[in-house]
Amino acid sequence: MKRGEADKPLGEVDIVCFRDYSRHFTRLLFLLCYFLFSGMSFAQSYPSKPIKLVVPYAPGGGTDLTARLIAKILSASLNQPVLVENKAGAGGIIGQEYVAKAVPDGYTLLFSAAGPLTITPFTYPSLPYDPVQSFEPIVLISAQPLVLVVNSDSKMYSIADLLKEGAGKRLNYGSFGNGSAAHLAGESFKMASKLEMTHIPYKGTSPALTALLGGDIDMLFDTVSTATPFIKSGKLRAIALTSKSRSSLLPDVPTMAQAGVSGFEAGTWYGILAPVGTGPMVIQKINQAVNAGLKSKEVIEAFTSEGSVILGGSPAQFRNFMAAELKKNELVVKAAGITAN
């Protein structure tokens, strides 16, 4: 601006331009306020219809049973039906993709486990979803350790016996699926113990347990809740847990570290996520409802009875937890050369 121009009176063109800018600014401000307050209004009225909680596995498994318990407490808190919908197939990929592509309005949520979110991304060459970019983490529900079990007719009573037995031959270990948490536990144990071991995958926990009971495999990493009835009945023998601390269901069973093999932990966990783009106020509302429900007597007793550890926490904590799990599992998958086939 030249000297003296600032002192000149506004011309007619200047006044028109000023009015145009003012009008545009007012309109922009109005739209901003509209979207802000309409978003707040939606969050305050949410939910106004039933919520779909998608489980990427078949009914009856650990993920499904836990999801139904959480659906019950969510429904009571939000005063709307929360309906569990099972979309099984492809190791959880079908259900994950369904939620990833759903409308991000808070009415389609994902109840997932460790596998499809933090293991599958490294065992498949490509996926129709991204575990980080496709979802908004809402709340981490619980975690459950695995227990290393053998047939009750086995000569192995401890990790020391297992190491001695494995020193002279190759052992077979089973899992409830290629790339599953049990598979990663076996490979982690293999690397930590330096044993020669062959992985035998099965299509689920039930056939893997049947194989172990029938003597087709030497050992199996199974969830505590599933293995405990067989351990209590004397059909299986527990060798060690894959967690940091002992389980309330199996207080006499040592952890891997206590048994002499340190350097790894394994297990499975559950959490609720939403399609990316879901509003933060809706996410916060679900998060608060779940965290409150996790403190109820009914939920505490249910999780304790199956050997699970209640977690909860904020969406940010869940996001950080997933990042750590992805990093850890990527190392194991690459070191072991695990693939989906």
**pLDDT tens profile 284-300:** 999 999 999 999 998 99
Clarify whether residues 176 and 214 are in a common domain. Answer: yes
Last residue in a domain, options 259, 285, 311: 259
Q: Which residues contact 125 (CB under 8 A, 6 or more apart)?
A: 340
Clarify whether residues 70 and 112 are in a common domain. Answer: yes
Clarify whether residues 181 and 85 are in a common domain. Answer: no
Clarify whether residues 179 and 132 are in a common domain. Answer: no
Q: Has residue 2 been placed in a domain?
A: no
Clarify whether residues 138 and 153 are in a common domain. Answer: no
Domain limits for position 209: 145-259
Measured distance CA(145)–CA(30) in Å, rounded: 53
pLDDT in tens, 107-135: 999 999 998 899 999 999 899 999 999 99
Clarify whether residues 127 and 150 are in a common domain. Answer: no
Q: Has residue 75 been placed in a domain?
A: yes
At 74, the pLDDT band (50, 70, 90 cuts) reads: very high
Clarify whether residues 246 and 294 are in a common domain. Answer: no
Cis ω before 9 (30° cut-off from 0): no
Q: Has residue 217 been placed in a domain?
A: yes
Clarify whether residues 151 and 192 are in a common domain. Answer: yes
Clarify whether residues 276 and 233 are in a common domain. Answer: no
Clarify whether residues 81 and 171 are in a common domain. Answer: no
Clarify whether residues 250 and 154 are in a common domain. Answer: yes
Measured distance CA(234)–CA(71) in Å, rounded: 34
The CATH number for 164's domain is 3.40.190.10
Last residue in a domain, options 204, 224, 259: 259
Last residue in a domain, options 198, 227, 259: 259
Count of structural domains, the chain: 2
Clarify whether residues 129 and 275 are in a common domain. Answer: yes
Using a 10 angstrom Cβ sphere, with 0-12 exposed, 13-18 middle and 19 or more buried, the burial of residue 323 is: middle
Q: Has residue 133 been placed in a domain?
A: yes
pLDDT in tens, 152-170: 999 999 999 999 999 888 9
pLDDT in tens, 231-290: 999 999 999 999 988 998 999 999 999 999 987 788 889 999 999 999 999 999 999 999
